[in-house]
A and B are shown apart, each in its own frame.
Chain A
Amino acid sequence: GESVGLHLPTLSVQEGDNSIINCAYSNSASDYFIWYKQESGKGPQFIIDIRSNMDKRQGQRVTVLLNKTVKHLSLQIAATQPGDSAVYFCAENIESNFGNEKLTFGTGTRLTIIP
């Protein structure tokens, strides 16, 4: 089946700088996308989501950009802090499905913040 992939498995960023984590998806029917953060030894935590009728969505220090033309998703984290060090997963879903049973996760990008 189709899967979600990431461009880079690891990313190191200086504290205070902005970081961008990228994600490519291949299922053209996917219309709902989510970013999760997973800290070491913990379960994933929801960060932000975006639906396909939007190109951009902002949260606190985070922005998700969606480019449906090239099937690309990115997560921007502004003014990175040591607590941002984690593995970040993108996930996709088909909104017509009920609930979250068809959520497909990518393989993850490890973000390391350098003090």
Chain B
Amino acid sequence: NAGVTQTPKFQVLKTGQSMTLQCAQDMNHEYMSWYRQDPGMGLRLIHYSVGAGITDQGEVPNGYNVSRSTTEDFPLRLLSAAPSQTSVYFCASSATSGNTGELFFGEGSRLTVL
């Protein structure tokens, strides 16, 4: 049981470059989300999805796009990377039944934008 898998684990970009962070889960969870984690600021929600074909913005969505074409995958796209997007990104998933706060997180993707 792999859980939530994120790739890549590390990435260095130049300002203006684009890239996609991949996230896949094998638990058949309807809910998936992306957070960024910066020192002293905890985790902040970027985008989330409550099912295939449905996405919505979180607290800090600017500069990021998402799509949810399948239940398993929830990629996060940076169209034109900026130094302010240097951060550690976490993908998370959960079941939507029972309204539990138990999010299952991936190991994180550390992104540096030069």
Contacts and interface: CB of A to CB of B under 8 A. Distances in A.
20 contacts: A4-B42, A32-B99, A34-B101, A34-B102, A41-B108, A42-B107, A42-B108, A43-B92, A45-B105, A46-B101, A49-B101, A49-B102, A95-B99, A98-B99, A99-B50, A104-B45, A105-B42, A105-B43, A107-B40, A107-B41
B74 interface: no
Interface residues of B, number: 30
A100 B42 contact: no
A100 B90 contact: no
Most buried by B among A33, A93, A105: A105
Contacts of B96: 98-99
Interface of B: 4, 30-31, 33, 35, 40-45, 48, 50, 56, 58-59, 90, 92, 94, 96, 99-108
Nearest to A32: B101
Which 4 residue pairs across A and B have the least CB separation, nearest first? Answer: A43-B105, A34-B101, A105-B43, A46-B102
A46 B103 contact: yes
> Range of interface residues on chain A?
20 to 34
